[in-house]
Amino acid sequence: MVFLNTYIMALINFVNPATKYKWFNTLWIIAILLFPVLLWLMPADYFDHGGVEICPSKAFFNIECPGCGLTRATMHMHHIDWQEAIYFNTGIMFIYPALVIVWGWWLYKAILRQKKFANKIDVI
């Protein structure tokens, strides 16, 4: 029981390192900017030929859940291959724009944090 209370308190008191350290926020901005580039450098069908089922619904019950195929659909959508993306999961028409909005929001917030760090005066 003590461990559970300690764990809950750790979650409550969690501080995002990007809000505390300028170097971490800088790395976060770099990662946010590089991620789409890395996805574009990979071929569109990179995730199409995986033999391992990681969806528990598909692995245990052989039933596809609403999320099945989203990784492959996202990759095809990122490469502007609309037909393949919709083939893997029709929900990608709503999920992909939401992902782009979240990506933009993270980048915006990280840049604002970077400006706050720039405006702080370091006292040694």
User: pLDDT, tens digit, for every residue of 6-50?
Assistant: 666 666 666 778 788 889 999 999 999 999 999 999 988 888 887
* Confidence at residue 104, expressed as pLDDT on a 0 to 100 scale: 95
Q: Each residue of 77-99: b (16+ CB within 10 Å) or e?
A: bbbeeeebbeebbeebeebbeee
On the question of pLDDT at 63 being above 80, the answer is: yes
Q: What is the mean pLDDT of residues 106-110?
A: 94
pLDDT at 18: 79
pLDDT score at 121: 62
* pLDDT tier, 120 (very low <50, low <70, confident <90, very high otherwise): confident
Do 74 and 95 touch, CB atoms closer than 8 A?
Answer: yes
The pLDDT value given to residue 59: 78
Residue 40 vs residues 77, 79, 118: alpha-carbon distances, Å: 11, 7, 32
CB 104 within 8 A of CB 112: no
78 in Cβ contact with 39 (< 8 Å): yes
Q: Does residue 65 surpass a pLDDT of 80?
A: yes
Tokens (6 digits) for 10: 């750790």
d(CA 25, CA 17): 8
Is the confidence at residue 124, as pLDDT, over 60? Answer: no
Q: Is the pLDDT of residue 122 over 80?
A: no
